[in-house]
């Protein structure tokens, strides 16, 4: 009889033995399944990492070892539960059936890599995830609302700095365990679903820098755990919801760079520690913020006096660019001993500094009171605020001498006391080794010092009657303010740089000769004086020529196109027209000069009537050759999607050989600059809506003789206001109405086209940025007279605030009727300020003239600046003065002190000129 092996002496036929056998079988099966799961997970992880790891990194991973032994991987009981792969240089796509098979994952972090779309759908099946971070990658797809709704255990969702687009998924509201939500720096559009704020566990919400619009849901105030909310950098509007002050857990609120309006009284008595509401349209008084440490309410429309609204914990206060008033000493004495930063520039504060307790401001490092009405002396006690690093008291009514012991401020690096009535000696400043920036200009009775002039340049002493290079006997630096360290280094590197420049100049001359043989180019405006620039724009016809090679005759070029009917014209608006380049040739008479209507920096423009009675403008891009056919087609298609009632629409394009032509809707009344300068006598006058206008469709801008323009041609103030508002709305759409902010780069009067109703349309949108690789200074730095000062500085970058500056110049043109450069700029006695006089430098530009008038605060001079042709009555005069003030703010030297274009829209909308006036 065969012997049986009993386990532990128990017979398998007994009940206990049977139970033990079943248990053993299930245990073995579980071990087999568990081992099988581990093998699947190992294969999935190997495939994922081998696909996304850089080759230099993948070689260092021992893929033959178990995944739980790898770095950055967390396991529990041999099962992978966490991947922490931040900043490892991962790139490419996440393969399907890799990460999605790790069903026990609770933590997944792939942030700070270069992973790309699409995200595999199986990733959204990881229902145990509580932590998901895909931030700072290159995922460019619609926010996966349905997929996210599966992750019901999710507590932290971090998708910031990608390219997620489309609406904000309402399904996120189904994640009832979510505590942290960061979707910032994406391209999410639409409104904020109320469901997002129906998650009681939410503590942190950051959806800043997207394209959201609409108002805040009222459900926001019902979140008991929320302590951080950042919705800045969107296009949100409306007021703050009632009850926001009852959110006792909310400590940080950032709604800056939006279009919120209304009062801030709902914030009274709130527990907020950081209140950041800058660059909006809020009105009324400053709320009571006794618990706040950081308050930034700059660039709004706040008004009124400040009466004990801040508490003892305040560290930073920024109220610049509002309409606030009151005694400056009351405000400064209402701060704490921990106070470090104060900026109330561009307001209406008054009073003196003599009553300020500077000894109590022992930690104050930044003080900006510029452009207010502060008067009296600068007290000696200011040195008791011994940590001051930045002082700007410019454009006030200060008098007397400099504080006696100002040199005791050993950390001071920036001092601006310009445009006051200070007097006396400044020699003590020469001993302040920490000083890197100094501006004492336009204090007529203030002395100067040869050492200071040598260190900081003559510009720091402009307008001082007793200070000139001859008087101080020193060679003055040729441009700008310079620090002492800059001058020292300059001596050391001068010879080397000089040699390098000599080589570059010789090379440039040779290159210029070669280029000149091919085509005539615009002169380099950045190298011209203001008077030379003015003469350039006064005689643009010197640079007029044929369209493609810029020869006077385009015939040879046209002859080289063997079969024009085979070159297609792509039309976005009317694709069924089936146009070809031959149609463009017929409509422009082979791009004859007689059909050319303007010459801009981007290229000549021709008027044409295409088949179907379609009247268009055809622009030949002089720098278009730098674009490949594929890039040009893609970029033009993208530009065609920019649609707004105040933007000239791109109708189509044609790529023929090396040339790129763009086709725009024709604007019957031409460019705004022609209206501001007048029009030739031969133009046929028409009457429409009681406003005189002219038909520019058959006239060539190169033939305009500005000197012979009739004085009777003008725009009424209501029309000018309509133009200002329409243009502001166009820019607001570009800056804040898109998922990605668009900077125009070349806002100027000749790029503002007027239709039959004299409605403004911004032209060349996107073209300057498209051609920004050009070496022509026009593309990099804007147009003379319109370019903001920062564009001309080393490292200067284009920005929306650069567009705001250029827009401000147009406002000044509309109000004064003067050109941005090269016009006659007069003082209150009618004396041209072009020549140097009374210790002042010559003023050859509109912005400098207006800023001088505003700084001098002489009402008679400011009234003289208004264009009498539009100043029809006292109402118009008042509105023109207000628009002049807006233009003054828009053209502030520092970008941070300019309003956003959204704020400008709000200000202009508040004015309602009578459109029936003549």
pLDDT per residue as tens digits for the range 414-461: 999 998 999 888 888 888 889 999 999 888 788 777 788 888 887 788
> What length is written for the chain?
918
The HSE-up count of residue 495 (CA atoms within 13 Å, CB side) is 1
List CB contacts of 877: < 8 A, sequence separation 6 or more: 863, 866, 871
* Chain mean position to CA 803: 8
Backbone angles phi, psi at 21, to 5 degrees: -65, -40
The fold for domain 536-909 equals Transferase(Phosphotransferase); domain 1 (1.10.510)
Whole-number Å distance between alpha carbons of 458 and 238: 49
- Which token pair is 9? 């002496």
Examine the pLDDT at 679 and tell me if it is beyond 60.
no
Residue with tokens 């046209």: 558
Backbone angles phi, psi at 764, to 5 degrees: 60, 30
State the Cα angle at 275 between 270 and 279, rounded to 5°. 135
Please tell me whether the overall predicted TM-score, pTM, comes out greater than 0.75 for this model: no
Residue with tokens 């001088």: 852
Domain boundaries, the chain: 1-139, 536-909
- High-pLDDT (> 90) share of the chain, %: 33
> Which of these, 152, 198, 156, lies nearest to 175 by C-alpha position?
152
Whole-number Å distance between alpha carbons of 476 and 453: 7
> Which of these, 396, 391, 402, lies nearest to 424 by C-alpha position?
402
State the Cα angle at 526 between 520 and 532, rounded to 5°. 75
Helix or strand run (H / E) with residue 530: helix 530-538
Examine the pLDDT at 411 and tell me if it is beyond 90.
yes
Do 347 and 372 form a contact (C-beta atoms < 8 A)? yes
Topology alike, domains 1-139 and 536-909: no
CATH (one of 3.40.50.1820, 3.40.190.10, 3.90.550.10, 3.80.10.10) for 1-139: 3.80.10.10
Whole-number Å distance between alpha carbons of 43 and 55: 18
> Which of these, 125, 121, 119, 135, lies nearest to 103 by C-alpha position?
125
**Catalytically annotated residue among 392, 416, 746, 803:** 746
Mean pLDDT of the chain: 78
* Chain mean position to CA 73: 41
| Strand positions, DSSP E, 215-296 | 228-230, 235-238, 252-254, 259-262, 274-276, 281-284, 294-296
Q: How confident is the model at residue 781 (pLDDT cuts 50, 70, 90)?
A: low
Whole-number Å distance between alpha carbons of 849 and 864: 12
Q: Is 424 left (phi over 0), alpha (psi -120 to 50) or beta?
A: left
Peptide bond into 796 cis (omega under 30): no
Intra-chain end-to-end CA distance of the chain, in Å: 125
Mean pLDDT calculated for residue range 8-27:
46
Q: How confident is the model at residue 201 (pLDDT cuts 50, 70, 90)?
A: very high
Q: How confident is the model at residue 552 (pLDDT cuts 50, 70, 90)?
A: very low
Write the secondary structure of 253-272 as one string of H (helix), E (strand) and C (coil): EECCCCEEEECCHHHCCCCC
For the question of residue 343 being annotated catalytic, the response is no
Strand partners, 569: 654
Examine the pLDDT at 259 and tell me if it is beyond 60.
yes
pLDDT score for 814: 94
- Per DSSP, the residues of 834-903 read SS-BTTBPP--BHHHHHHHHHHHT-HHHHHHHS-TTT--SHHHHHHHHHHHHHHHHHT-SSGGGSPPHHH
């Amino acid at each position: 009889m065969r012997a049986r092996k009993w386990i532990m002496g128990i017979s398998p036929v007994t009940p206990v033995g049977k139970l033990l056998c079943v248990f053993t079988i299930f245990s073995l099966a579980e071990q087999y399944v568990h081992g099988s799961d581990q093998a699947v997970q190992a294969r999935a992880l190997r495939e994922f990492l081998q696909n996304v790891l850089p080759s230099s990194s993948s070689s260092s991973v021992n893929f033959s070892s178990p995944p739980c032994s790898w770095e950055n991987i967390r396991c529990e009981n041999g099962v992978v539960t966490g991947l922490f792969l931040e900043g490892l240089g991962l790139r490419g796509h996440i393969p399907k059936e890799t990460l999605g098979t790790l069903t026990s994952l609770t933590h997944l972090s792939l942030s700070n890599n270069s992973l790309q779309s699409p995200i595999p759908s199986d990733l959204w099946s990881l229902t145990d995830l509580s932590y998901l971070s895909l931030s700072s990658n290159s995922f460019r797809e619609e926010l996966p609302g349905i997929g996210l709704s599966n992750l019901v255990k999710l507590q932290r969702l971090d998708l910031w700095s990608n390219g997620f687009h489309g609406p904000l998924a309402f399904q996120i509201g189904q994640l009832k365990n979510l505590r942290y939500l960061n979707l910032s720096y994406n391209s999410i559009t639409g409104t904020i679903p109320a469901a997002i704020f129906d998650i009681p566990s939410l503590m942190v919400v950051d959806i800043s820098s997207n394209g959201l619009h609409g108002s805040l849901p009222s459900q926001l105030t019902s979140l008991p755990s929320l302590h951080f909310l950042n919705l800045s950098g969107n296009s949100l509007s409306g007021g703050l919801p009632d009850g926001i002050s009852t959110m006792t857990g909310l400590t940080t609120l950032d709604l800056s760079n939006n279009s919120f309006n209304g009062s801030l009284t709902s914030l009274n008595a709130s527990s907020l520690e950081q209140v950041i509401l800058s660059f909006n349209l809020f009105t009324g008084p400053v709320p009571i913020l006794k618990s706040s440490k950081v308050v930034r309410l700059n660039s709004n429309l706040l008004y009124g006096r400040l009466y004990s609204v801040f508490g003892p914990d305040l560290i930073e206060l920024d109220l610049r660019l509002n309409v606030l008033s009151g005694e400056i000493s009351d405000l400064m004495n209402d701060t704490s001993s921990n106070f470090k930063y104060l900026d109330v520039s561009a307001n209406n504060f008054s009073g003196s500094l003599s009553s300020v307790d500077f000894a109590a401001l022992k930690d104050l490092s930044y003080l900006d009171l510029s452009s207010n009405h502060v008067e009296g002396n600068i007290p000696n006690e200011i040195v008791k605020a011994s940590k001051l690093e930045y002082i700007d008291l410019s454009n006030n009514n200060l008098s007397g001498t400099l504080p006696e012991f100002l040199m005791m401020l050993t950390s001071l690096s920036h001092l601006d006391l310009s445009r006051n009535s200070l007097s006396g000696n400044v020699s003590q400043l020469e001993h302040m080794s920490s000083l890197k920036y100094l501006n004492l200009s336009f204090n007529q009775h203030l002395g100067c010092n040869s050492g200071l002039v040598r260190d900081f340049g003559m510009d720091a002493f402009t307008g001082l009657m007793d200070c000139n290079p001859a008087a101080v006997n020193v060679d003055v630096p040729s441009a700008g303010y310079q620090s002492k360290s800059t001058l020292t280094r300059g001596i050391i590197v001068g010879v080397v740089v000089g040699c390098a420049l000599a080589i570059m100049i010789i090379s440039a001359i040779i290159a210029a000769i070669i280029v000149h043989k091919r085509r005539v180019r615009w002169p380099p405006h950045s190298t011209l004086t203001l008077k030379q620039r003015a003469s350039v724009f006064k005689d643009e016809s010197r640079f007029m020529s044929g369209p493609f090679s810029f020869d006077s005759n385009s015939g040879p070029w046209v002859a080289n196109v063997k079969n024009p009917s085979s070159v297609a014209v792509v039309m976005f608006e009317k694709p069924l027209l089936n146009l070809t380049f031959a149609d463009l040739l017929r409509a422009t008479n082979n791009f004859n000069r007689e059909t050319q209507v303007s010459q801009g920096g981007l290229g000549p423009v021709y008027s044409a009537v295409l088949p179907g009675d379609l009247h268009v403008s055809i622009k030949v891009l002089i720098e278009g050759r730098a674009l490949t056919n594929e890039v040009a087609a893609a970029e033009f298609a993208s530009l065609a999607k920019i649609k707004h009632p105040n933007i000239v629409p791109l109708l189509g394009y044609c790529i023929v050989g090396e040339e790129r032509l763009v086709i725009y809707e024709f604007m019957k009344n031409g460019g705004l600059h022609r209206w501001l300068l007048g029009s030739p006598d031969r133009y046929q006058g028409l009457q429409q809506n009681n406003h005189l206008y002219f038909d520019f469709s058959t006239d060539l801008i190169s033939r305009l003789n500005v000197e012979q323009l009739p004085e009777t041609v003008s725009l009424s103030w209501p029309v000018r206001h309509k133009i200002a508002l329409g243009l502001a709305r166009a820019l607001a759409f570009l800056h804040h109405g898109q998922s990605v902010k668009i900077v125009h780069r070349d806002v100027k009067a000749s790029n503002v086209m007027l239709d039959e109703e004299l409605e403004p349309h911004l032209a060349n949108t996107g073209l300057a940025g498209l051609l920004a690789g050009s070496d022509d200074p026009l593309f990099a730095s804007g147009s003379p007279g319109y370019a903001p000062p920062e564009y001309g500085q080393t490292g200067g970058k284009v920005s929306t605030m650069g567009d705001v500056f250029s827009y401000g110049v147009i406002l000044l043109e509309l109000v004064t009727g003067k050109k941005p450069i090269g016009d006659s700029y007069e003082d209150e006695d009618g004396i041209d300020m072009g020549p140097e006089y009374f210790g002042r430098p010559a003023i050859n530009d509109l912005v400098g003239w207006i800023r001088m008038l505003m700084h001098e605060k002489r009402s008679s001079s400011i009234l003289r600046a208004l264009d009498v042709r539009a100043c029809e009555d006292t109402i118009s005069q008042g509105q023109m003065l207000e628009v002049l003030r807006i233009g003054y703010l828009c053209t502030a030297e520092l970008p941070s002190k300019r309003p956003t274009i959204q704020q400008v829209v709000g200000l202009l909308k508040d004015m309602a000129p009578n459109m029936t006036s003549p």
